[in-house]
Amino acid sequence: MKLRRCAVLYIESREDLSIDWRTVLSGGNALASSSHWVALAPHLDQEITIDAAQLAALGGASQTVWRERSAAEQEYGEVCIAKLLELGLLIGDTPQYAAQRARDDTLRDTHWRPLSALAHTFGRWRGVVEETGMEAPSFQALLDRFGEPPPPTLDIHPEQAIALPAPAAGRMDEQLLQRYTGRNYDLQASVPLEVVARLLQRTFGAQEVRQVGPHSEVLKKTSPSGGGLHPIEAFVLAQRVDGVAPGLYHYHPMAHELRPLETMDHEAAAALSRYMLADQHWLSGAPLQVVLVARLERSYWKYRNHQKAFRAVALDAGHLSQTFYLLATEAGLPAFITAAINDADIEKTLGLDHLRHAVVAMCGCGPAADGPRSMVELRYGETDAI
Ligand SMILES: Cc1cc2nc3c(=O)[nH]c(=O)nc-3n(C[C@H](O)[C@H](O)[C@H](O)COP(=O)(O)O)c2cc1C
């Protein structure tokens, strides 16, 4: 049997702090620290504590060249090698280790930049329910807690400043100046199907399909996209869309269709939304919501092992979100975007693989409720809500 190291592996020295109460009582420095090694491998999707002997064995293994197991055992011991194979940090070439090898191969085949794979894998949330943690506090509460923030902008060479004329009025002003993040959705209201159709098509839909090879197409959309590849897919959570059963759908950008994944009753859709949004109840009432999912394999097909590719995917999602906001504003609807989502759980619900896909953000929109606002909403010309 042969083995090699998994493709991407980072080792972290993790510190454990403890307080020695006996020293505290005798007036000494009581903070004690110890450390241990943690192996971070994206294909395993969990942090693994390893010891110094295992660290040495991993350091001695190639990630490319296969080596006889017996040779590694001679150098590092049978128990150590068996444990690393079982953990999936070493990859074996026999059927016993096929599952770990398949995950490692998926990572290799997707052409990840290793640090990006690490940041993505270990930045995902599951089961986060932190409504108080993320609820936007008033600015006064932030000032009380953190003191004054850094200034709102840089102030470079004011003495050489060239004053610019006031901006002329333009056709986009209405949408640009009315846009705001809604946090107070009307829980009874629905969105007409025509409004949803325009929102989805003009944000996520193909405005043109270009044939670039016998079986290769690129899409032209209303937002820019790194490499023109448009790796972001729109999965729709319809809560209250006229004529559409509550549930999860994939929006097909070329066919302009909602393809059902799972329909459900209103209560189940509301609970799913709240769970996906990590309990942000001020957003979860929005009748139309969209999960932005990057198909990294499409982006990385061109940008192989590229430092900027993962960042570009996040920028793509940001552009789509602003287009969505402006179209929602045009329809008289406030909108939202959030990255504070249970992305690892959403992957499971949508049947996605985190090595090939990234659930980047969720956005949504819907009519605002009448009455007092429950949360901070920054609208132009208003200060009372801050
Ligand atoms: C990347 C990103 C993440 C955001 N995440 C959240 C969020 O988790 N929860 C939330 O209520 N708003 C979120 N927002 C909305 C911002 O809080 C909002 O844009 C900001 O307060 C300015 O208000 P405005 O959009 O009305 O101008 C997010 C916005 C962006 C661009």
- Pick from 146, 198, 172, 134: which is nearest to 336 by CA? 134
Whether the Cβ atoms of residue 302 and residue 291 lie closer than 8 Å to each other: no
Whether the Cβ atoms of residue 273 and residue 239 lie closer than 8 Å to each other: yes
Q: What's the DSSP call for residue 156?
A: -
Convert the pLDDT of each residue in 106-139 to its tens digit. 999 999 999 999 999 999 999 999 755 556 667 8
Beta bridge partners of 5: 90
Ligand 1, residue 338: give the atom nearest the CA: 5
Ligand 1, residue 340: give the atom nearest the CA: 8
Domains of the chain: 2-110 (no CATH), 131-147+173-365 (3.40.109.10)
Position 376 confidence tier, pLDDT thresholds 50, 70, 90: low
Position 386 confidence tier, pLDDT thresholds 50, 70, 90: very low
Convert the pLDDT of each residue in 295-344 to its tens digit. 999 999 999 999 999 999 999 999 999 999 999 999 999 999 999 999 99
Half-sphere exposure of 23 toward its Cβ, with a 13 Å CA cutoff? 8
128's tokens: 């986060």
| Ligand 1 pocket check for 261: Cβ under 6 Å | no
Ligand 1, residue 376: give the atom nearest the CA: 21
| Ligand 1 pocket check for 181: Cβ under 6 Å | yes
CA angle 169, 173, 174 (to 5 degrees): 125
Residue 10: strand, helix, or coil: strand
**What residue's CA is closest to ligand 1, atom 13?**
338
**What residue's CA is closest to ligand 1, atom 17?**
181
Distance 82 CA to ligand 1 centre (A): 48
30's tokens: 């009581």
Q: How much is the average pLDDT of 345-368? A: 98
- Pick from 107, 102, 85: which is nearest to 41 by CA? 107
| Ligand 1 pocket check for 136: Cβ under 6 Å | yes
Instruction: Report the share of the chain in percent with pLDDT over 70.
Output: 95
Whether the Cβ atoms of residue 376 and residue 386 lie closer than 8 Å to each other: yes
Q: What's the DSSP call for residue 243?
A: T
Ligand 1, residue 183: give the atom nearest the CA: 11
